[in-house]
Amino acid sequence: MQNVWTCDIIHNNTIIVWRRTGTMTTQLMSFDNDTHRSRVIALWEQVFGYEAAHNAPSLVIDKKLAAQDELFFVHRGVTH
């Protein structure tokens, strides 16, 4: 188990407040397009908010998958 820290505010890439919110059991797994794509895109847009077309998460994911290097992972955590 790991400590879980939540970032309350990010502004101009500066983390303003961190707080401990519990513990988490973690699992790292290979990205599965059917299972993970929509959630990865939603998180990507929320965190980065890129406006440039070449940074669109769907485009970047497609390029990564085309590389077929199997080096695209997602994290699954359960907070306790």
Q: What is the pLDDT of residue 60?
A: 92
Indicate the pairing of strand 14-30 with strand 73-79.
Answer: antiparallel
Q: What is the pLDDT of residue 46?
A: 87
Q: What is the value of pTM for the model shown?
A: 0.64
Place of tokens 């309350």: 8
Amino acid making up residue 60: V
Amino acid making up residue 61: I
Question: What span, in angstroms and rounded, lies between the C-alpha atoms of 63 and 59?
Answer: 6
* Mean pLDDT, each 10-residue run in order, the chain (80 residues): 58 59 74 92 87 89 91 76
Beta bridge partners of 5: 20
